[in-house]
Amino acid sequence: MENGKNIFCGIDIGSRTGKIVLVVDTKTIIFSEIIKTVASAAKTYNALIGTIPEEFKNSISASAVTGYGRESTAAMCDFSATEITCHYLGVLCAHPETKTIIDIGGQDSKVITIDNNSRIKDFAMNDRCAAGTGRFLEVMMDRIGFSIEDFAALDISEVEPVKINSTCTVFAESEVISMVSRDVPQNVIASSLARMVAANTFFMARKTRPEEPFFMSGGVSKLKPVRFHLEKFFGREIKTDKNSQLMGALGAALFAMKETEKK
């Protein structure tokens, strides 16, 4: 135990990264780590467990897993939970005022709305098309000669984007290749791709009746151009924080805590 407190472990195995969070029963994070996803969900799980400091390993009361790889690793943990549940629990713990959660990960995106009683009101999820996700942006940035780190820090506030007409990964890539061949500036193409991702998310979100305050979780929350265009579409500020990529893992740890308390 950490200072006599119970420790709970949350693991989020995504398609691109794996995340682990340890919390104590005051809901305070005492350890976290993010790694690149390796060959399988089970190997990613083992790699994440291997990052836990020795002083915590024997004090973990319960664990839960969520994310892309949760079905493959559920037997390795005490509990498993959906991404919707875990992002909801994680964001509401860190930012209880939130009414709309936008999460864009490596291979899917989701929007969750919260009612006045802090319960899930509605949600929408796109897990069938990679267009508008982190992996799509990685591939497109490679096409135009940007690293994802360059893209993350890019200031596009003065850049006029070109509309990408297709919402399909294959056809969008063709449009990008065409723009590259016409010597369209890199920052214009980057802004156009960010706008496409934001547009896909916005149109998916409309049926959930999103309200402010907004919070963005997931790896794509680190990409300034995407947040910039999302704010333009929604007409509202979209908050994020240094732990935004950990919200699923935090929620999994809190889920493990809740389920243990029930028992």
pLDDT of residue 107: 81
Q: How far apart are CA 116 and CA 102, in angstroms?
A: 18
Half-sphere exposure in the Cβ direction for 229 (13 Å, CA):
26
Half-sphere exposure in the Cβ direction for 32 (13 Å, CA):
20
pLDDT of residue 127: 62
**How buried is 164 (Cβ within 10 angstroms: 0-12 exposed, 13-18 middle, 19+ buried)?**
buried
Residues in contact with 76: Cβ distance below 8 Å, sequence separation at least 6, in sequence order: 42, 45, 65
Q: What is the pTM for the complete model shown?
A: 0.92
Q: How far apart are CA 71 and CA 65, in angstroms?
A: 9
Q: How far apart are CA 137 and CA 164, in angstroms?
A: 14
* Ranges of the chain with pLDDT below 70: 1-4, 127-131, 166-167
pLDDT of residue 228: 97
Q: How far apart are CA 83 and CA 126, in angstroms?
A: 12
Backbone angles phi, psi at 232, to 5 degrees: -70, -45
29: β partners = 23
Domains and CATH numbers, the chain: 7-95+246-262 (3.30.420.40), 100-240 (3.30.420.40)
